Structure 1
Amino acid sequence: MLRLRGHHLVCLHFFNGEGHDRVFTENLEDVLKRVGNEDIEICRDTDDVCEKCRYRKDNKCEYDTHADEDIREMDNMALALLETETGAFTRWKDVKEKIPGIFRQWYQKQCTVCDWKKACEKNYSFNGLKN
């Protein structure tokens, strides 16, 4: 079973690991291989994607000064848009079906200010939903 936090339920559909180190990218590729075949437990803190991130410290994100707080806000928005909650279980296909209906709101609030936006813009699906 995979553990994913709220914003990863949205962002993993588009993100490719660009801009991260090899260890993180290999872990991300492993998560992406598994995600379609396993149940997903929605968690509150760092998850299976964060496991190999160099910014993860004491189960928090230290990408920058306010990263952990900002990410929790992103998680909360993702969970609200996906109509689910921490502690729930889901399947990737169920999340994927909801992305087109929530993406415009997500893009306007989250993607426009995201440091990883350029990496996601290389994804055909991202650009299709954005326009």
Structure 2
Amino acid sequence: MVKLRGHHLICLNFYDGDGIDERFKQNVEFIKKRLVEGEDIKIVEGPDDICMECKYLKNQICNFSADSETEVKNLDEKALKFLNLKKGVVVNFNELKRKASYAPLEFYKDFCNGCSFMEYCKCPVKI
């Protein structure tokens, strides 16, 4: 079972792992492959299976930027609220993709605003 935090439930629909390093990208691709093949997701709080291969994760805290830990926690909350999910719940990626496809553009304008990975992402805000 893949463990994912809130914002990754949304972001994995549009992001392929570019922008950090090759190890991180390969991990994102591997996790997305597992999800497409039907492996379930357990929603977790804090660092997840994506984060574990990120060079900016130190002592279970995101150090991508000075404010990144607070930013990702806020994104986690926004994503879980929109998806009407809570930590500990087990979900299927196809179900999440369906829910994400129904999100209004206004949701993505707010959710993706200021994202450091926008240039690598296929987010609806860019379309």
> In the TM superposition, what is the alpha-carbon distance from 1:2 to its structure 2 partner?
0.3
Structure 2 gaps of 5+ residues are none
Output the TM-score relative to the length of structure 2.
0.92
Residue by residue over 1:20-55, the C-alpha shift from the partner in whole angstroms, topping out at 9 and shown as x without a partner, is 211111111110110122110000010011111000
Output the TM-score relative to the length of structure 1.
0.89
Residue by residue over 1:51-110, the C-alpha shift from the partner in whole angstroms, topping out at 9 and shown as x without a partner, is 110000111111111111110000000000001011111000111110122252332112
In structure 2, what is the equivalent of residue 26 of structure 1? Answer: 26
Q: Would you say the 8 A contact 1:103–1:130 is kept in 2?
A: no
> In the TM superposition, what is the alpha-carbon distance from 1:130 to its structure 2 partner?
5.7
In structure 2, what is the equivalent of residue 70 of structure 1? Answer: 71
- Identity between Structure 1 and Structure 2 (%): 33
Secondary structure at the residue paired with 1:35?
A: helix
- Structure 1 residues 105 and 89, CA gap change in structure 2 (3 angstroms): farther
Q: Would you say the 8 A contact 2:78–2:111 is kept in 1?
A: no
In structure 1, what is the equivalent of residue 15 of structure 2? Answer: 15
**Which ranges of 4 or more aligned residues in structure 1 deviate by more than 4 Å?**
none
- Structure 1 residues 130 and 21, CA gap change in structure 2 (3 angstroms): closer
> In the TM superposition, what is the alpha-carbon distance from 1:10 to its structure 2 partner?
0.3
In structure 2, what is the equivalent of residue 80 of structure 1? Answer: 81
Residue correspondences, number: 126
Residue by residue over 1:1-31, the C-alpha shift from the partner in whole angstroms, topping out at 9 and shown as x without a partner, is 0000000000011112221211111111110
- Structure 1 residues 62 and 92, CA gap change in structure 2 (3 angstroms): same
In structure 1, what is the equivalent of residue 6 of structure 2? Answer: 6
Q: Would you say the 8 A contact 1:104–1:130 is kept in 2?
A: no
Secondary structure at the residue paired with 2:82?
A: helix
In structure 2, what is the equivalent of residue 94 of structure 1? Answer: 95
Secondary structure at the residue paired with 1:115?
A: coil
Structure with the higher helix share, 1 or 2: 1
Q: Which of 93-102 and 47-56 deviates more?
A: 93-102
Structure 1 gaps of 5+ residues are none
